[in-house]
Chains A and B, each alone.
Chain A
Amino acid sequence: MRTLEQTTQEVLDLAAKHFQLPAGSLAPGDDFFKKLGIDSLQTLEMLSRLENHFGIELPDYEVQGVSDFRTLAERIQSRL
């Protein structure tokens, strides 16, 4: 079982890879809309990738209003 820290790190690494950013360039508290300059659709695409990686299903309502990696990781962790 992953710890929340591990999950958070994996979320950051995957997001960086998905948006072709250098590893380590994202932080847990970063607002992904602002930091990555992405819109809601691109966020959904990133979520699909995270779901595949963690082998879970994240209903849309679970990520409603979430805009930072830490909270996103918490939502993922609760479904692992």
Chain B
Amino acid sequence: MLDLSQYQSIGEALKDALDRFADEVCLIEADREREKERLTYREFKERSHPLAQALQDAGFTAGERAGIIMTNQSKWLISAYAIFFAGGVLVPLDYKLTPEEHWQLLKHSGAKFLITEYPIWRQLNLSAGRSSATNLQTVLVTEAPANAHLAGALRWEEFRGAGEPVFVPRKRSDTASIVYSSGTGGRPKGCMMTHENYLEQCVALTSIYPFWPGVRYLSILPTNHAIDFMVGFFGPFTCGAAVVHLRTLRPEYVREAFPKYKITYVSLVPLVLKNLQKGLQTRFDALPALKRKIFNVLVAFNKALTKNRPRLGLSRRLLKQVHAAFGGELRAIIVGGAFTEPQTLQFFYDLGIPVANGYGLTEAGTAITVNDLKPFRADTVGKPLPGMQVRIVNPAPDGVGEVSVRSKTVMSGYLDDPELTAETIVDGWLMTGDLGRIDDTGHLQLSGRKKNMIVTEEGKNIYPEDVEKVFESLPVKEFCVFAANYIWPKRSMVGEKLVLILHLEQGQNYSEELRRDINARNNRLLNYKRVHGVILFEEDFPRTASLKIKRNVLAERLAKLDSATAILPL
């Protein structure tokens, strides 16, 4: 691994990595059963430098912002490196957002360049939002068919400059990327991550989960996500490891990828992990009685022998078939994006497959705590990573309070939002809005949320304000959306729901017609953003002088209602 303490920027470290590990494989890209691409670090450099040169020829200068909207693929990483090499600021956007949301964030970010895939560009052009992002000057589109109408974009494959580009140095304190943690509604939250944030996080994470040449990381989480950016790009690249991309994330191709590419690490969201658990459990249950008995004994042996620490070699021998299905080289499954139930974590650990569960926020530079497996604990989200200071603010008698963190990995602030930044980073401490306690062994246990948001099992952060737009002009006096847990806090990180609060006009009834209208609007939202019920509230919403809803005050008033009866199903 490179000694990252010697580097000032992501671009500088990656530049050296490409030379140092020149003959190692860095990228494999597969589409279904076909392998589309296999690049060494040298070939990666040969692909990315002409792009960096062309960017510079097009006027791309230090501090320039460039967006990427792509599914996980080699061109994502090649483009990101070219941007960093040219001293740019990366704006990685979630390809699963709607075109309107993309345009809103592109506008907010101030990006002048955009690199995207042709099908996404086609959708973006159908959206009226395009006219709003006047800051965008150059669009590069990958894999456009020969006769495609590019609507002013240029072909990525042809955007190549001659000669050797000039590396543009950056300081550790400079912004490396603007990552939107959420907020496509009224208040986009663009986390400004510095080069130091990434360099420090990489050192901390790889001290516990190391990479080296030969290691293969299966990249499934979107690379715009802080976790995959770190463990599916920057981390492995600074260690000479390889990243495997799948263009199709159908479960059968994901399953095949493990043995085919001898995967060492993979990151998953809890939903996928639970699906894997379900599939394995079904296969175990289908074993003939005697085999099942023997299997249970082997699992019990493994459990006893790995009580204090994982013993991968031993587990692979004891439970050979299970490990063979995962390729026989899997060292850990990294799970993130949302809370994972302890029972699922324990299931995999008992099979000899450690799940590196942890806790993090984009604002904190990916991970704050991670399970160091010394010993494995399914009931916690692990201990703070090296360099992380974690403290509990205003703890209740049981030790539970708001988790706050101070570290070199914490973002410098939200783009163009000093007010929200000041609320979130107080005296150098990042206030996470999550509730938890630190136990006697230094492990963090999460127990709920203080903030008005939900996180789905798919790792989606949903802020109620972001879904309100769809209910605009609903024929009621006023409305708003809340996370049910924010109104009636419960000590749980799962099963969170959004609810729609309605204040009807005087004499108005909650009619069948109104319910149908709400349902129709709700169905226009992506499934994970939908509200799950309605609460009728008979008073005016408390508002500020500028007529914004005082959500905390309203939540306190709503809390007086009985949660069991107040939520009407849709």
| Chain A proximity of B137: nearest CB distance (Å) | 25
Q: Is the CB of B117 within 8 A of A41?
A: no
Q: Does B247 contact A (CB under 8 A)?
A: yes
If A40-B458, A65-B98 touch, whether A59 touches B271 (CB-CB below 8 Å) is no
Distance, CA A61 to CA B247, complexed state (A): 10
Q: Does A48 contact B (CB under 8 A)?
A: yes
Distance, CA A48 to CA B272, complexed state (A): 17
Mask of B91-106 contacts with A, CB within 8 angstroms, 1/0: 0000110100000000
Mask of B497-527 contacts with A, CB within 8 angstroms, 1/0: 0000000000000000000000000010011
Distance, CA A39 to CA B523, complexed state (A): 15
Q: Is the CB of A67 within 8 A of B32?
A: no
Q: Does A44 contact B (CB under 8 A)?
A: yes
Contact residue range for chain B?
20 to 34
Residue of B nearest to A39 (CB): B271
Q: Is the CB of B527 within 8 A of A33?
A: yes
If A59-B119, A61-B71, A64-B96 touch, whether A41 touches B248 (CB-CB below 8 Å) is no
| Chain A proximity of B70: nearest CB distance (Å) | 10
Report B's interface with A, CB cutoff 8 A: 32, 71, 95-96, 98, 117, 119-120, 247-252, 271-272, 275, 457-458, 523, 526-527
Q: Which residues of B contact A45 (CB under 8 A)?
A: 250-251
Q: Is the CB of A34 within 8 A of B119?
A: no
Q: Is the CB of A41 within 8 A of B272?
A: yes
A-B contact pairs, 11 of them (CB 8 A): A31-B523, A33-B527, A39-B457, A40-B527, A41-B275, A48-B250, A48-B252, A60-B248, A61-B119, A64-B95, A64-B96
Q: Which residues of A contact B32 (CB under 8 A)?
A: 57
Q: Which residues of A contact B275 (CB under 8 A)?
A: 41
Distance, CA A40 to CA B120, complexed state (A): 19
Distance, CA A34 to CA B528, complexed state (A): 11
Report A's interface with B, CB cutoff 8 A: 31, 33-34, 39-41, 44-45, 47-48, 57, 59-62, 64-65, 67
Q: Which residues of A contact B120 (CB under 8 A)?
A: 61
Distance, CA A20 to CA B437, complexed state (A): 45
8 closest residue pairs by CB, A with B: A33-B527, A61-B119, A44-B250, A48-B250, A41-B275, A31-B523, A60-B248, A45-B251
New A-B contacts (5) at CB < 8 Å, excluding given A31-B527, A33-B527: A44-B249, A60-B248, A61-B71, A61-B95, A61-B117
Q: Which residues of A contact B272 (CB under 8 A)?
A: 41
Q: Is the CB of B119 within 8 A of A62?
A: yes
Distance, CA A61 to CA B261, complexed state (A): 24
Q: Which residues of B contact A33 (CB under 8 A)?
A: 527
Q: Which residues of A contact B457 (CB under 8 A)?
A: 39
Distance, CA A12 to CA B92, complexed state (A): 37
Q: Is the CB of A59 within 8 A of B526?
A: no
Distance, CA A64 to CA B117, complexed state (A): 13
| Chain B proximity of A13: nearest CB distance (Å) | 21
Q: Is the CB of B527 within 8 A of A60?
A: no
Q: Is the CB of B247 within 8 A of A59?
A: yes
Distance, CA A39 to CA B120, complexed state (A): 23
Distance, CA A47 to CA B457, complexed state (A): 21
Q: Which residues of A contact B71 (CB under 8 A)?
A: 60-61
Distance, CA A67 to CA B529, complexed state (A): 13
| Chain B proximity of A69: nearest CB distance (Å) | 13
Distance, CA A22 to CA B304, complexed state (A): 47
Q: Is the CB of B250 within 8 A of A67?
A: no
Q: Which residues of A contact B248 (CB under 8 A)?
A: 59-60
If A33-B527, A34-B523 touch, whether A39 touches B458 (CB-CB below 8 Å) is yes
| Chain B proximity of A39: nearest CB distance (Å) | 6
Q: Which residues of B contact A44 (CB under 8 A)?
A: 249-251
Q: Which residues of A contact B251 (CB under 8 A)?
A: 41, 44-45, 48
Residue of A nearest to B99 (CB): A65
Distance, CA A44 to CA B220, complexed state (A): 14
Residue of A nearest to B528 (CB): A40
| Chain B proximity of A40: nearest CB distance (Å) | 6
Q: Is the CB of B249 within 8 A of A60?
A: yes
Interface centre among B117, B275, B527 (most CB of A within 10 A): B527
Q: Which residues of A contact B250 (CB under 8 A)?
A: 44-45, 47-48
Residue of B nearest to A32 (CB): B527
Distance, CA A47 to CA B252, complexed state (A): 11
Residue of A nearest to B272 (CB): A41
Distance, CA A59 to CA B120, complexed state (A): 12
Q: Which residues of B contact A34 (CB under 8 A)?
A: 523, 527
| Chain A proximity of B425: nearest CB distance (Å) | 34
Q: Which residues of A contact B119 (CB under 8 A)?
A: 59, 61-62
Distance, CA A8 to CA B117, complexed state (A): 28
Distance, CA A67 to CA B527, complexed state (A): 8
Distance, CA A57 to CA B119, complexed state (A): 15
Q: Which residues of A contact B527 (CB under 8 A)?
A: 31, 33-34, 40, 67
Distance, CA A41 to CA B277, complexed state (A): 13
Q: Which residues of B contact A61 (CB under 8 A)?
A: 71, 95, 117, 119-120
Residue of A nearest to B519 (CB): A34
| Chain A proximity of B12: nearest CB distance (Å) | 34
Distance, CA A47 to CA B251, complexed state (A): 11
| Chain A proximity of B33: nearest CB distance (Å) | 11
Residue of B nearest to A48 (CB): B250
Residue of A nearest to B120 (CB): A61
Distance, CA A59 to CA B272, complexed state (A): 20
Distance, CA A41 to CA B459, complexed state (A): 13
Q: Which residues of B contact A47 (CB under 8 A)?
A: 250
Distance, CA A67 to CA B528, complexed state (A): 12
Interface centre among A34, A57, A61 (most CB of B within 10 A): A61
Distance, CA A57 to CA B32, complexed state (A): 10
